[in-house]
């Protein structure tokens, strides 16, 4: 469940934002001051924070700066949602460490899209380590290793490409000539089917050795 913290001293704005985001199936927490935000953040770190700038006591810019100095909150995406709309304001907000800046009054559709873009970006990087899982096999493209249950096996790069292709096309009958094109990038009708067999054999040997350990 994606969790969003919204901080604004205007109860009406806060309610609107809360309603819209809940409709999007986000889990929303609403607070009306920087102090409350801080005490919430001590307990848990949301996936994204919406922040007003003009607030009594501590303003949004100050809060944002403060958070960015704390290593726990460095990855937290922050989106300013504020009536201050001059170029200087925008630049100031972004320079304080925010990730996006939306001016009130805002179009709900745009706010939704910008929130989605920020969240997407967050998950995009994590997903990027390209692990592919299928039954007991877990394939990691960074380390070039296969984990079978939890035992790791070292693969060569061709074996890795082949296994990855097979795992990406499970339950499919793949002819040698198809694999030569897909994995080895040979032109059609070139390449030796023996090549595929040799590698399939080596793969099997390594994987089977892993299983009964």
The Cα 68–Cα 49 span in angstroms is 13
Instruction: Provide, rounded to whole angstroms, the least separation between the CB of residue 11 and a second copy.
Output: 25
Choose the one of DNA, a second copy, none that binds residue 46, judging by a C-beta under 5 to 8 angstroms depending on kind: none
- 193 interacts with, out of DNA, a second copy, none, CB within 5 to 8 A per kind: DNA
Picked from DNA, a second copy, none, the partner binding residue 95 (CB below 5 to 8 A depending on kind) is a second copy
Given the rule CB under 8 A, which residues bind a second copy?
71, 74-75, 77, 87-88, 90-91, 94-95, 97-100, 107, 109-110, 112-114, 116-117, 120-121, 124-125, 127-128, 130, 142-144, 171-173
The C-alpha R_g of the chain, in whole angstroms, comes to 25
Three-state DSSP class for 123? helix
116-125: burial string, b at 16+ Cβ within 10 Å, e else = eebbeebeee
Q: How far apart are CA 130 and CA 149, in angstroms?
A: 18
Q: Are 44 and 32 in contact (CB under 8 A)?
A: no
Token pair, residue 11, equals 């109860």
Among 23, 123, 133, 154, binds DNA (CB under 7 A): 154
Indicate the residue among 3 and 145 with the shorter CB distance to DNA.
145
Where do contacts with DNA occur on this chain (CB under 7 A)? 154, 156-159, 176, 184, 191-195, 197-202, 204
């Amino acid at each position: 469940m994606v969790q969003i913290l919204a901080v604004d001293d205007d109860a009406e704005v806060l309610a609107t934002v809360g309603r819209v985001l809940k409709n999007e199936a986000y889990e929303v927490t609403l607070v009306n001051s920087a102090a409350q935000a801080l005490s919430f953040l001590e307990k848990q770190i949301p996936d994204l924070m919406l922040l007003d700038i003009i607030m009594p006591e501590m303003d949004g810019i100050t809060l944002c700066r403060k958070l960015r100095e704390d290593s726990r909150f460095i990855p937290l995406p922050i989106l300013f949602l504020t009536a201050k709309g001059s170029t200087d304001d925008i630049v100031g907000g972004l320079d304080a460490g925010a990730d996006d800046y939306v001016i009130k009054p805002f179009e709900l559709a745009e706010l939704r899209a910008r929130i989605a873009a920020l969240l997407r970006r967050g998950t995009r990087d994590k997903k990027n380590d390209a692990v592919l899982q299928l039954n007991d096999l877990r394939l990691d493209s960074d380390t070039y290793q296969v984990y079978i249950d939890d035992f790791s096996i070292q693969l060569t790069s061709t074996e890795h490409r082949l296994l990855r292709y097979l795992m990406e096309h499970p339950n499919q009958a793949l002819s040698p000539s198809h694999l030569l094109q897909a994995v080895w990038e040979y032109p059609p009708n070139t390449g030796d089917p023996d090549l595929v067999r040799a590698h399939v054999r080596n793969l099997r040997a390594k994987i089977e050795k892993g299983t009964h350990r």
